[in-house]
Amino acid sequence: MSELSVHHLLGIKYLKEQDIQLIFETADHFKEVINRPIKKVPSLRDITIANIFFENSTRTKLSFELAQKRLSADVISFSAAQSSVKKGETLIDTVNNILAMKVDMVVMRHAHPGAAHFLAQQVKASIINAGDGAHEHPTQALLDSYSIRERLGDVAGKKVVIVGDILHSRVALSNIFALQMQGAEVRVCGPKTLIPKYIESLGVKVESNLRQALEWCDVANMLRIQNERLDVSYFPSTREYVQQYGVNQALLNSLSKEIVIMHPGPINRGVEITSEVADGPHSVILDQVENGVAIRMAVIYLLASKLKP
Amino acid sequence: MSQKLLLNATEVHIILHRLACQLIENHSDFQHTVLIGLQPRGKYLAQRLTQLLQKDYGVHAIRLGFLDITFFRDDFRRSGKPLEANKTQIDFLVENQKVVFIDDVLFTGRSINAALTAIQSFGRPSEVELLTLIDRRFSRHLPIQPDYRGRQVDAINDEVVKVCWQEKEGEDAVYLVTQP
């Protein structure tokens, strides 16, 4: 297969396994490109992309912008904080105004689940979901799987545990879909209050003991406690959370095998993982960031190739 | 679909030896020269010439790389079928080096145009030459000509020149294929 089966990247659940493999193969080529002395290709020189972020982002926004610039696309970026959204403009009006300026593709992050899906039905542009509420964050899941493939050779047959705030995490949901689609086994681990009630209906086992979860897995994906989304208290104290669900070097050393530590960032150092672990040999956190650019280049390139000139 | 044999294995081998000798004439020990096979089909010709230079002519210090031009093509979104990328493998800088592009067939010149842009990602070559096994006359869209050519062929637009290699297709030969 040399073409994606979709016109938008709204979520992993709308993709087929072949789509993921095509994205990975294309990302392999782009990873070579971004390690050249001149890291740019002219493929998208006639494409304009708008990055519309209704929610804060550092890594994802920078990574998307860099990916677009490495492909020679024209880029306009927009943050809701400095926009007319504050004056009461609707989502469709905002986006249609941007599209009236002849934009071909929109990368959007929004606080509401389904926002990207809604937009894809309403406007004529290719939409990439850069995170919609607690729903999906497909490019993060793709780069996570790509990093596992890079470190361990394959995703199929691997055991991955996602630790932390699963309830508020779009990264967790997209990762579960992506990993299962590629034949990996997924478990989640965290305080009961931060595990969604029906998670087992996705074929995901819940493990409440961190040590057992780490003994079981090949890869641990550590998630941040999303304090900004915690409307009530989900656990007694950060100190207690660290004691039960924080990963430190001593815990890793006491395991019977070596595991890979991942984190989508931003890290709360000393909470979900210690600095020693984050910067240590088990960690692939900075590889994830590098792979993020290559994966986003691949997604943008493949979606752009379906746009008619 | 009908096909006519343009070059048989013996003729291909004679041409390869001639091209290798012409390269030696201009580049002697290849100290400041790098060979770049253009993906996907120029790779086989580049590998063959490298083997010949090393085994038959004793030129051992040859630097060979492969350049994929997919992301530099000017027909992205314009060609009917999706473009598939191949591996680029250039483990050296081309800064101040003489670069020889190697491709099987020179047709419109657009691939070479893309390659001229793509190679700049690896440095600024002191000069760039072009070697092709087949030069299709009267079909150029751009002012690009080969410095070394195996055979010049006159073909009309709906004809395809197919280059076969022993290691890929099981025989060394060049055919002129007429599309129905």
At B132, which CATH number?
A: 3.40.50.2020
Interface of B with A in 61-120 (CB under 8 A): 68, 70-73, 76-78, 81-88, 93, 117-118, 120
B145 near A CB under 8 A:
no
Query: Does some domain include residue B1?
Result: no
Long-range Cβ pairs for the range A224-231 (8 Å, 24+): A224/A164, A224/A165, A224/A263, A224/A264, A224/A265, A224/A266, A224/A267, A224/A268, A224/A271, A224/A272, A225/A164, A225/A165, A225/A194, A225/A268, A225/A271, A225/A272, A226/A165, A226/A168, A226/A169, A229/A134, A229/A168, A230/A168
Q: Is residue B170 part of a domain?
A: no
Q: Is B100 helix (H, G, I), strand (E, B) or coil?
A: strand
pTM of the predicted model as reported, rounded to 2 decimal places:
0.90
Whether chain A has a CB inside 8 Å of the CB on B58: the answer is: no
Judging contacts by C-beta atoms under 8 Å, the chain B residues touching residue A26 are 85
Task: Please tell me the total count of domains within chain B.
Answer: 1
Q: Comparing C-alpha atoms, which of B160, B159, B163, B128 is closest to residue B146?
A: B128
Q: Are strands A260-262 and A219-222 parallel, antiparallel or unpaired?
A: parallel
Residue of A186, A259, A262 whose CA lies nearest to A224: A262
**Does the residue B116 lie in any domain?**
yes
Q: Is B172 within a domain?
A: no
Of B77, B93, B118, the CB nearest to A308: B77
Question: Structural domain of residue B87, as residue ranges?
Answer: 10-155
Q: Report if residue B109 sits inside a domain.
A: yes
> Which chain A residues are closer than 8 Å to B78 by Cβ?
309
Chain B positions touching A3 (Cβ under 8 A) are: 82
Q: Is residue B93 part of a domain?
A: yes
- Which of B85, B86, B122 lies closest to A36 in CB terms? B122
Question: pLDDT per position in chain A (309 positions), as tens?
Answer: 589 999 999 999 999 999 999 999 999 999 999 998 889 999 999 999 999 998 888 889 999 999 999 999 999 988 876 666 667 778 888 888 888 888 999 999 999 999 999 999 988 899 999 999 999 999 999 999 999 999 999 999 999 999 999 998 999 999 999 999 999 999 999 999 999 999 999 999 999 999 999 999 999 999 988 777 667 778 888 899 999 999 999 999 999 999 999 999 889 999 999 999 999 999 999 999 999 999 999 999 999 999 887
Q: Is residue B174 one of the residues assigned to a domain?
A: no
Does residue B40 lie within any of the structural domains?
yes
> Which of A2, A21, A43, A72 is the best residue to mutate to test the B interface, defined by the most B CB atoms within 10 Å of its own CB?
A43
Which chain B residue shows the shortest CA-CA distance from A44? Answer: B76
* B57 inside 8 A of chain A by CB: no
Query: Given an 8 Å threshold on Cβ–Cβ distance, is B121 in contact with A3?
Result: no
